[in-house]
Amino acid sequence: MPYDLREPYMSQSADDLQQADSAGGKQGRRRWIALAVMLAAMAMDLLDVAIVNLALPAIRAETGASPAALTWIVASYPLTFGVFLVLGGRLGDRFGRKRMFMLGVLGFTLASVLCGLAPSAGPLIVGRVLQGVFAAIMTPQILSVIQINFTPAERPKAYAAFGAVQGVATVGGPVLGGVLIDADLFGLAWRPIFLINVPIGLVTIIAAAVLLAESRAEGARQFDITGVALLGLPLFLLLFPLIHGAEAGWGPTSALMLLAVAPLFALFLWHQHRRDRAGHAALVPPRLFRQRGFTGGVLTGMVFFAGVVGFLMVFALTMQVGLGFTARSVGMMLIPYSIGIAAASGMAFPLVPRLGRSLIALGAVVKGSGMAILLATFLAVDAITWWHPLPGLLVCGIGMGLVAPTIADVALARVQSSDAGAASGGLITSGQIGGATGVALISSVFFGVLALSTAGVTEAGPGEFTHAFLWALAFEILVMAVAAVLTLVLPRTASADTSSDTAH
């Protein structure tokens, strides 16, 4: 999901910044170089996210990771990223964005070392959790610095650079990951996908120390640590039985965990209302949920992005473990998916003001259609070759590209400017949490079907993996259908008119 944590803070006047850049002075050049440094850190994060799915078969082969452990390796990152994201933005406001950016990069780099040196799945999962936490500290500072250090006329160029890095990482990540894994550098197998972050992180920290200027928000910002805990706990209690249920059985412990989710989430909402009434900062101000666009965006985003990360996980496992393709081959297969995202995103932007929620609904339908093409292909073809999945993946990418840049515009168009940062943070958090939950659900379907067919994932053959993948695809199609229906909650367009925007 595109990051959009724009905060209305300016540490320098727009006139000063414009004069510096138009004069070609050091200040103007320094700001653009500083942006490049921060975008390098973002690329490190995005490449890591794009690559990890391809590494799962190699991780499984070396560490003997169980299906549940493989799922946690993927799901733990978006879960912790989503839970800590808003807090990360608040930390930058309070203690300084440069300081928190450097802390985020340092923490992410050290967590990558832990991942790269992990002797088993347990430490690797811990490393992924820490990567999510420190990425949540690092990422908001990038967008805040863009908003602070660039004039309104310059920001489109800055955000274009931000989007370009996202696009390159999306396209190049799977290819780079496949090459690194198959190259087996120094006999390290999958570990270089994490260890490559070390030199990038160290260079970024040094450059940030020299180039970035410190900035803070005016006035002290409060932290809602209790809110973070009350949000994280029910999510963990939801994901744990979903991930371990197929492997350990759906016993009374799983049932109790699931029964506790709703009361704990209600407690979180009560806590947010209580803080808001007392005049304290909440993770997501409850008044935002009275905005139809924001509520619809949260619901639609959670469901849609639930069908994104999990799909890439089961696709990588099926193609590599089940059908015997190399990581590099699977990375190359995903290029049409990435191209579809990039092309459709570019086409979607000018259509958002006119089509609004219809474009999001269309994207969900198109993505579901891509899944249906893949399902039909795997049903019809006895011996899948490298090119058979390409048409379905291209269509899936187009659907993703229609939704990803559109949903934020439609959901946030009618939000007051004073709430823009909190609303965009809440929207991104919901998408990340939806992604983590989707990984748990889809892996539960995939590994559950696999367990019914065989004694376990390590003994399954091509037929069993294909059968499990087909069930996962059917579930994904259902998810996309639900997402398309939920777009009816959104306002019709991204107009700033608020006359009919109250949620009922």
Domain of 446: which CATH number? 1.20.1250.20
Q: Are 89 and 7 in contact (CB under 8 A)?
A: yes
pLDDT at 483: 96
pLDDT band for 220, please (50, 70, 90 cuts): low
Interatomic CA distance for residues 26 and 11, integer angstroms: 17
Which of these ranges, 94-103, 195-204, 281-290, 488-497, has the smallest mean pLDDT?
A: 488-497
Residue 63 lies in a domain: yes
Supply φ then ψ for residue 209, to 5 degrees: -60, -35
CA distances from 371 to 52, 265, 397, 399 (A): 21, 32, 10, 10
Residues with Cβ < 8 Å from 153, sequence gap 6 or more? 18
Tell me what percent of the residues of the chain surpass a pLDDT of 70. 89
Q: What does the pLDDT read at residue 452?
A: 84
Q: What percent of the chain has pLDDT over 90?
A: 53
Q: Taking Cα atoms as reference points, which of 248, 265, 37 lies closest to residue 149?
A: 37
Helices (H), 307-389: 309-317, 327-333, 335-348, 352-355, 357-380
> What contacts 5, CB < 8 A, 6 or more positions away?
85, 89, 139, 140, 143, 144, 421, 424, 425, 428
Counted residue by residue, the chain has a size of 504
The whole-number pLDDT of residue 60 equals 94
Confirm whether 205 is domain-assigned: yes
Integer Cα distance of 403 and 367 in angstroms: 9
pLDDT higher than 70, residue 200: yes
Would 89 be classed as within a structural domain? Answer: yes
pLDDT at 59 over 60: yes
User: In this structure, which long-range contacts are made by residues 274-278, counting pairs with CB atoms below 8 Å and at least 24 apart in sequence?
Assistant: 275/224, 275/227
Least confident stretch, 14-23, 50-59, 106-115, 284-293: 14-23
The C-alpha atoms of residue 373 and residue 377 are separated, in whole angstroms, by 6
Alpha-carbon gap, residue 85 to 213, rounded angstroms: 22
Residues 190 and 268 placed together within one structural domain of the fold: no
- Residues 106, 206, single domain; the answer is yes
For residue 422, is it left (φ>0), alpha (ψ between -120 and 50) or beta?
alpha
Is 309 in the same domain as 191?
A: no
The amino acid that residue 91 corresponds to is: L
The pLDDT, as a whole number, for residue 455 is 59
35 and 132 part of one domain: yes
Residues 155 and 38 both lie in one domain: yes
Domain co-membership, 341 together with 454 = yes
Q: Whole-angstrom Cα distance, residue 82 to residue 180?
A: 28
Helix (H, G, I), strand (E, B) or coil at 500: coil
- Structural domain includes residue 423: yes
Q: What would the mean pLDDT of 159-184 be, rounded to a whole number?
A: 83
Same domain, 254 and 300: no
Q: Does the structure show a pLDDT above 80 at 392?
A: yes
Evaluate if residue 284 carries a pLDDT over 60: yes
Number of independent structural domains in the chain? 3
CA dist., res. 193 & res. 50, Å (int): 10
Name every residue whose Cβ is closer than 8 Å to that of residue 237 and which is 6 or more positions away in sequence.
257, 258, 260, 261, 264
pLDDT of amino acid 495: 62
Of 219-228, 371-380, 468-477, least confident by mean pLDDT is 219-228
Q: How confident is the model at residue 22, as a pLDDT?
A: 45
Same domain, 443 and 296: yes
Phi-psi region of 96 (alpha: psi -120 to 50; beta: other; left: phi over 0): left
Judge whether residue 454 has pLDDT over 90: no
Rounded Cα–Cα distance for residues 173 and 171 (Å): 6
* Same domain? 215 vs 233: no
pLDDT score recorded for residue 9: 32
Is 503 domain-assigned? no
Question: Is pLDDT above 90 for 282?
Answer: no
Mean pLDDT of the chain, nearest integer: 86
The verdict on 237 and 194 lying in the same domain is no
> What whole-number distance in Å separates Cα of residue 323 and Cα of residue 151?
52
Same domain, 96 and 213: yes
| Shared domain check, 319 and 388 | yes
Please list the alpha-helical segments (H only) found in 188-251.
192-195, 197-211, 225-248
What range does the domain containing 23 cover?
1-220
pTM for this predicted structure:
0.88
